[in-house]
């Protein structure tokens, strides 16, 4: 049997993506509540994400869209897959906390803010996931622009997302992008 490198590289990316989702799922979580979501996008779904990223970027940045969202959308198109990791945007109900800057969870919710533990959990889950990619020698980059866009798409609602595009190529596509934003 003869396997071409492209086929094996795509398999490697999907295997790593699955392992990244497992790492995010098993990462420690605040107050013992599992609010983590994961999914993987490839093909048409990945391209749909890239197109929406450009629309969000144009809305948020106008003519400067190519310097951030457009650049990231091009990386999404060039990547073999995108891992989305998110956490429910709900208060944890940790008594006597105030870590979010409010007196309690009710005040945080009333102000339209988010529980600080959601971001802690998201950071730990994403860090666990990218460590898997590093172990597998799969190039990746954590992107807020993917997460902001995913929150506006038809993925689970009321979730704070971050996105991680994955790539296997002769040179890391996430460096030397030559476009910088303010």
For residue range 59-93, what is the model confidence (pLDDT) as tens digits? 999 998 888 899 999 999 999 999 999 999 988 88
Neighbours of 78 (CB within 10 A): 13
Residues 133-158 have pLDDT tens digits of: 999 999 999 999 999 999 999 888 88
CA pseudo-torsion sign 100, 29, 53, 157:
negative
Rounded Cα–Cα distance for residues 104 and 95 (Å): 8
pTM above 0.85, yes or no: yes
What pLDDT, on a 0 to 100 scale, did the predictor assign at position 180?
Answer: 60
Is the separation of the CB atoms in 76 and 32 below 8 Å?
no
Residues 97-119 have pLDDT tens digits of: 899 999 999 999 999 999 999 99
Is the separation of the CB atoms in 150 and 49 below 8 Å?
yes
Region 5-167: CATH code: 3.40.109.10
What distance lies between CA 49 and its chain's CA centroid? Answer: 12
């Amino acid at each position: 049997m003869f396997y071409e490198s492209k086929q094996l590289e795509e398999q490697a990316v999907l295997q790593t993506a699955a392992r990244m989702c497992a790492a995010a799922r098993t990462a420690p979580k605040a107050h013992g509540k599992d609010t983590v979501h994961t999914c993987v996008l490839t093909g048409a779904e990945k391209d749909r994400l890239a197109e929406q990223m450009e629309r969000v970027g144009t809305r948020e940045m106008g003519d400067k869209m190519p310097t951030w969202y457009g650049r990231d959308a091009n990386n999404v198109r060039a990547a073999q897959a995108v891992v989305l990791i998110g956490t429910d945007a709900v208060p944890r109900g940790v008594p006597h906390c105030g870590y979010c800057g409010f007196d309690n969870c009710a005040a945080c919710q009333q102000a339209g803010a988010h529980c600080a533990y959601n971001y802690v959990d998201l950071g730990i889950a994403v860090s666990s996931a990218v460590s898997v990619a590093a172990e597998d020698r799969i190039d990746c980059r954590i992107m807020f622009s993917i997460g902001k866009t995913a929150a506006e798409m038809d993925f689970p609602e009321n979730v704070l997302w971050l996105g991680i595009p994955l790539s296997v190529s002769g040179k890391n596509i996430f460096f030397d992008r030559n476009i910088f934003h303010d």
